Structure 1
Amino acid sequence: MGTITRAARPVSYFPVSPVMLFPEALRDFSVYIWKDGDFVLYTPSGQTFTSRHRQILHQKKITEVYIRGSEKAQYEKYIERNLGSILLDESLPIENRSKVFYEASSLVMQDIFDRKLPSSLRARHFDQLSDIVKNSIKFLATDNSLSAVAPFISHDYKTYTHCMHVFVYSVAVFRSYEMTESEIFEYALGALLHDVGKAKIPKRILNKRGPLTQAEREIIKEHPVHGVSMCAHLPMTQNTINCILFHHEKLDGSGYPSGIKRDNVPLPVRIVSLSDIYDALTTDRPYAEAMQPYEALSLIRNDLRENVDMNVFKRFVAILSGADIL
């Protein structure tokens, strides 16, 4: 580590885990640490971030480093370049790779939902998400990956983390069926984007504490159609679109937006729907506290059995049990 340089008049910084800095990878952004009430340069842009740099951070118990907000685009490109090789590098502890997956996904998803009532999903975000899905479904196919990701699943509800949780659960269930890799990719992309239409719902409604009015409920129900509309200009297959449009449909026909029932609800949509319900029940929401996994599954089995596919439910329970989530 070279001479410590004070950062002149910092404007904005964002935190990342040191796990996200891959030794020996090319990097065109500077890394800072927080020391004595100021941001201090740790490694400048262009300098190799080595295993020794990471070791020093570990020894000093530094769990967050910082990057200038003006260099966020460079950081995102750096993650894109390296994500696939990192996730599949079995020499790295699976816990570290799980953290990389979760933080890389969070970075893009949060950026999407932080935009104010966007009219469409940016092509750049779509390309980033496609790469994340492609690399992540390979990682999630490895042994013990679901168990390793589970500790990062937050119980504090945010729309972007909810989308990631639904993606993880759905991919695990997709894998239990005879689906091709291309099919899993298409369905998984739909699972990750299933609630993208909520980016067009006012936050005062999404985050409202207490019961919604009938008018507010009707606005919420528009999000699947908003989601498809936001993605209309993108090269999406019908399999992906179905997961976005129909994830609130129920087998008894009481769902929305179309009220389709039984065999008209595609199997992958049933999987995304169940994952969506389970994650919503097991995270703290503005209007309800999180349930324990067994409580949520009991409620689904006893009260929602007419709404969900019970064969999918049985597989879902077996997968969670096998990953020691229950």
Structure 2
Amino acid sequence: MGDFSVYLWHRGDFVLYTASGQKFTSQHLHFLEKNGIKDIYIQGSEKQQYQRYVEQNLGKILMDESMPLESRTKAFYEASTMVMQDVFDKKLPSGMRARHFDRITDIVKNSINFLSVDNSLSALGPFISHDYKTYTHCMHVFVYSVAVFHTYDMGDQEIFEYGLGALLHDVGKAKIPKRILNKRGPLTQAEREIIKEHPVHGVSMCAHLPMTQNTVNCILFHHEKIDGSGYPSGLRNDSLPSPVRIVSLADIYDALTSQRPYAEAMEPYEALSLIRDDMRDNVDMNVFKRFVAVLSGADML
């Protein structure tokens, strides 16, 4: 039951099917299926109410095995992307609002078990856009990272903390001028230095929120490299936690396979070959092998 009305398209016009506040029952669904009706509609003015309903009920939707996996996957991707887009569109100059943080933690809590379900990652493949936007990039890094986390001996709380960090890893880019983020062509040295500030900005924006150190590490250290050549701290080897290495690799892979203002998108095999051949001193190759296995198992290569 939602605070939005549902309409059908019939003989060239929209017909009210269930009104706002009226319960949509299994009988309603059976009628639609019996008559071959696959599409229902809501008014544009009630879009926010509908989105809020999906977001609030996402956990139930994702674990409802009576629904097709593709439908649950679409609900997850659209609800998650909507939340992340809201976060970045607000710009949050003084820090992330607790309201947005609660929505983000709900997304993580509701989806980490779903992402452990067989075929969930492969079902997400068609929804992953290769047109780079910061909020969709954060979503993709979260999905890839959590899928790999599930192959390790990690508890649910640990996966939640690192998953939250993966989803928020680039939140500091909300403080980077769009003229730099969206610049076509190479950045100047000065512009690159401004970009490099985003991990610190991200931690600063979240300083007032109830985050564990595991979450903070993903935001602050996702551009560190195991050979010590990364930023902002030049961490190397064992100083860089394994889950953060997974987030770093997912970050690199999604960036390479996305259409960016200054670079064409690579095919998955091409991107993985580049990482293996040219970045092997920067990334954990054991994590890389596991990452490739996860993508291969989901038929995403």
Question: 2:172, 2:200 within 8 Å by CA — same for their partners in 1?
Answer: yes
Query: Does 1:79 pair with 2:57?
Result: no
My pick for the range that moved more, 146-155 or 31-40, is: 31-40
Q: Residue 53 of structure 1: CA displacement?
A: 7.8
Q: Residue in 2 aligned with 1:300?
A: 275
TM-score by length of 2: 0.91
Out of 68, 76, 94, which is 2:45 matched to? 68
Offset, 1:278: 0.3
SS at match of 1:104: helix
Structure 2 residue 253 is the aligned partner of structure 1 residue 278: yes
Q: 1:68 and 1:38, CA in 2 relative to 1: closer, same or farther beyond 3 A?
A: farther
Distance in 1 between residues matched to 2:79 and 2:189, nearest whole Å: 37
1:262/1:77 Cα in 2 relative to 1: closer, same or farther (>3 Å)? same
Partner of 2:22: 47
Instruction: Give the counterpart letter for 1:90 in structure 2.
Output: E
Change (3 A) 1:81 1:249: same
Structure 2 residue aligned with 1:162: 137
What does residue 203 of structure 2 align with? 228
Say if 1:193 and 1:244, in contact at 8 Å, map to a contact too: yes
What CA distance in whole angstroms lies between the structure 2 residues aligned with 1:231 and 1:39?
45
Structure 1 residues 130-186: Cα deviation after superposition (integer angstroms, max 9, x where no partner): 111111001011111111111111111111110010001000111111111100000
1:191-210 alpha-carbon deviations (Å, 9 max, x no partner)? 00000111111111111111
AA partner of residue 245 (structure 1): L
**Offset, 1:87:** 0.1
Q: 1:39 to 1:196 in 2, by over 3 A?
A: farther
- Taking the aligned partners of 2:135 and 2:12, their CA distance within structure 1 comes to 31
How far has the Cα of 1:47 moved from its partner?
2.7
1:64-115 C-alpha deviation (Å, 9 max, x unpaired): 754326x62x444422331111100111111111101101101100001111
Farther off after superposition, 271-280 or 26-35: 26-35
TM-score w.r.t. the length of structure 1 is 0.85
Q: Percent identity?
A: 74
Distance 1:274 1:66, change over 3 A: farther
Q: What is the deviation of 1:30?
A: 3.7
| Other-structure match for 1:105 | 80
Deviation of residue 44 (structure 1)?
3.5
Decide which of 253, 257, 264 is 2:239's aligned counterpart: 264
Structure 1 residue 92 corresponds to structure 2 residue 92 = no
1:227–1:53 CA distance, 2 compared to 1 (3 A): farther
196-205 or 232-241, larger mean C-alpha shift: 196-205
What 5-or-longer segments of structure 1 have no aligned partner?
A: 1-25
Q: Paired residues, what number?
A: 298
The SS at the match of 2:229 is: coil
Distance of 1:190 and 1:175 partners within structure 2: 16
Deviation at 1:29, TM superposition (A): 2.6
> In the alignment, which residue of structure 2 is the partner of 1:123?
98
Q: Any runs of at least 4 consecutive aligned residues in structure 1 with deviations exceeding 6 A, and if so which?
A: 32-42
Quote the Cα distance in structure 1 between the aligned partners of 2:176 and 2:58: 31
Deviation at 1:265, TM superposition (A): 0.8
> Can you give the 5+ residue segments of structure 2 that lack an aligned partner in the other structure?
none
Pair 1:247 & 2:225 matched: no
Q: What is the letter of the counterpart of residue 98 of structure 2?
A: A
Does the CA contact (< 8 Å) of 1:249 and 1:255 recur in 2? yes
TM-superposed CA distance for 1:275, in Å, is 0.2
Q: Is the 8 A contact 2:8 2:16 kept in 1?
A: yes
* 1:134 aligned onto 2:109: yes
Contact 1:194 1:224 in 2 (8 A): yes
How much does 1:117 deviate?
5.1
Partner residue of 1:6? none
Find the aligned partners of 2:164 and 2:39 in 1 and give their Cα distance: 34
- Note if contact 1:119-1:200 (Cα within 8 Å) is conserved in structure 2: no
Give the counterpart of 1:182 among 147, 157, 160.
Answer: 157
C-alpha distance in structure 2 between counterparts of 1:119 and 1:38, whole Å: 47
